[in-house]
Amino acid sequence: MAITNASDLLVYAKTSGAVMQVTRISVKTSTPLISTGTLRINNVTNASGEVSDNVATASISTNTGSGALTKIKDKLVSSYGYTTGSEQTSGDYTYRDLTNGATGLVPTLEIINGTGTLEEDAIIIEIRTPGSSAVFDPVAFSTQASFSSSVDLRDVTTKDSEGYSESIAGLKSFEISTELLQTVNPDHPLDGTDFFHELSERDEVNVAFSDRIRNILTNNTVAAGQDGFTLTSASETTGTGDPFGGSTASFITASATSNSRLQCNLSASRLEDKKLTWSFYVKTGSINIATIQITNVDRDDYTARVISGDGSLETLGSEYYKITGLSGSTYTRIAVEFKNPINVDSGEDAVEFRIYPGVYNSQAGSPSIYISSWQFEQNKSVTDYQDPKTITHYQGNALVTSVNYDAGVEDNLTCSATFTGTGINTLNT
Same domain? 124 vs 189: no
What is the structure's pLDDT at 181?
A: 47
The CATH number for 411's domain is 4.10.410
CA distance 273 to 250: 31
Task: Quote the pTM value.
Answer: 0.63
Beta-carbon contacts of residue 131 (< 8 Å; ≥ 6 apart) = 19, 20, 21, 100, 102, 103, 104, 105, 106, 225
Extract the residue ranges of the chain whose pLDDT is less than 70: 1-16, 137-143, 180-194, 407-414, 428-429
pLDDT in tens, 211-226: 777 888 888 889 887 7
SS3 73: helix
Residue 207 lies in a domain: yes
| Size of the chain in residues | 429
Query: Is 39 part of any domain?
Result: yes
What's the number of domains the chain is made of? Answer: 3
**Tell me, what's the pLDDT at 276?**
93
Domain-ending residue, one of 129, 147, 162: 129
Same domain, 44 and 160: no
Give the strand pairing for 135-155 and 167-183: antiparallel
User: What does the pLDDT read at residue 107?
Assistant: 82
Instruction: Indicate whether 117 and 144 sit together in one domain.
Output: no
- Verify that 289 and 397 share a domain, yes or no: no
Is 182 found in the same domain as 125? Answer: no
300 and 346 co-located in one domain? yes
Residues 37 and 11 in one domain: no
Domain termination residue (choose one: 129, 151, 185): 129
Confidence (pLDDT) at 428: 67
Q: Provide the residue type at 240 as one letter.
A: T
Write the CA distances from 114 to 23, 34, 37, 55, 132, integer angstroms: 21, 12, 7, 10, 31
Closest CA to 421 of 399, 390, 391: 399
Q: Residues 319, 234: one domain?
A: yes
Question: Terminal CA-to-CA distance of the chain, rounded, Å?
Answer: 10
Q: What is the pLDDT of residue 122?
A: 93
Q: Of 121, 32, 35, whose CA–CA distance to 68 is shortest?
A: 32
Instruction: Look at residues 174, 72, 157, 176 and name the one whose alpha carbon lies nearest to residue 123.
Output: 72
Q: How far is C-alpha 186 from the chain's CA centre?
A: 21
CATH assignment of the domain containing 239: 2.60.120
- Judge if 145 and 263 occupy the same domain: no
The verdict on 270 and 310 lying in the same domain is yes
In a domain? residue 94? yes
Residues 261 and 378 reside in one and the same domain: yes
CB-CB contact of 262 with 333 (8 Å): no
User: Is residue 219 assigned to a domain?
Assistant: no
In a domain? residue 1: no
Q: Is residue 223 part of a domain?
A: no
pLDDT at position 169 is 86
Q: Is residue 275 part of a domain?
A: yes
> Domain ends where: 129, 149, 181?
129
Question: What range does the domain containing 191 cover?
Answer: 6-16+135-213+391-428
Kindly state whether residues 284 and 352 are assigned to the same domain: yes
Residue 220 lies in a domain: no
